[in-house]
Amino acid sequence: MKLAFVQNNMMLIMIVVVSGSILLWELLSRGSGKEVGTLLAVQLINYKDALVLDVREESEYDAGHIPNSKHIPGDKIKDRIQELEKFKDKPIVVIYRSGVRSGTASSTLHAHGFSHVHNLTGGIDTWKQANLPIVKK
């Protein structure tokens, strides 16, 4: 009886499984940070004195970064967390190349008591597409 239900509703079951997997992937890939677009990121920077934390590799950062951003590679966040302590109560906008791996940095910041952490949706690529200012070293 139960096997017949599964056989008769295989397509529906597959849709539910795939949808659930996509939803789970989205939740896990975001980390602990809130996603923000370029408009909200600019507002946080200009009106809330947000720290822009660029977690890309040094060569990527040198090739172009947001003015006045702080650079700490993603794999060094835990080791250099003390550099960020003074920003604990300020908004932080985390930047990566495409926005995917910034969730890991955001999770680390949340674990250390930072409560206003935001990930720029699409990362520096989105920032560039919006023709917002970039500084090269």
State the burial class of residue 68 (Cβ atoms within 10 Å of its Cβ: 0-12, 13-18, 19+).
exposed
Provide the residue type at 85 as one letter.
E
Lowest pLDDT segment from 14-18, 81-85, 93-97? 14-18
Mean pLDDT across the chain? 88
Beta strands in the chain (DSSP E): 34-36, 51-54, 70-71, 92-95, 117-120
Which residues lie closer than 8 Å to 116 by C-beta, 6 or more apart? 89, 90, 91, 92
Quote the CATH superfamily of domain 32-129: Rhodanese-like domain (3.40.250.10)
Instruction: State pLDDT tens for residues 85-136.
Output: 999 999 999 999 875 667 788 889 999 999 999 999 999 999 999 999 999 9
User: Residue 79 above 70 pLDDT?
Assistant: yes
Least confident interval from 30-34, 53-57, 101-105: 30-34
What local confidence, expressed as pLDDT, does residue 11 receive? 85
Give the pLDDT score at 64: 96
Q: Which neighbouring-strand residues pair with 71?
A: 54
Read off the tokens for 60.
């990527």
Give 131's DSSP letter: T
- Cα distances from 24 to residues 27, 109, 118, in angstroms, run 5, 22, 20
Q: What pLDDT is attached to residue 32? A: 53
For residue 121, the tally of other CB atoms under 10 A from its CB is: 17
Q: Could you give the percent of the chain with pLDDT greater than 90? A: 64
Angle at 39 between CA 111 and CA 127, to 5 degrees: 80
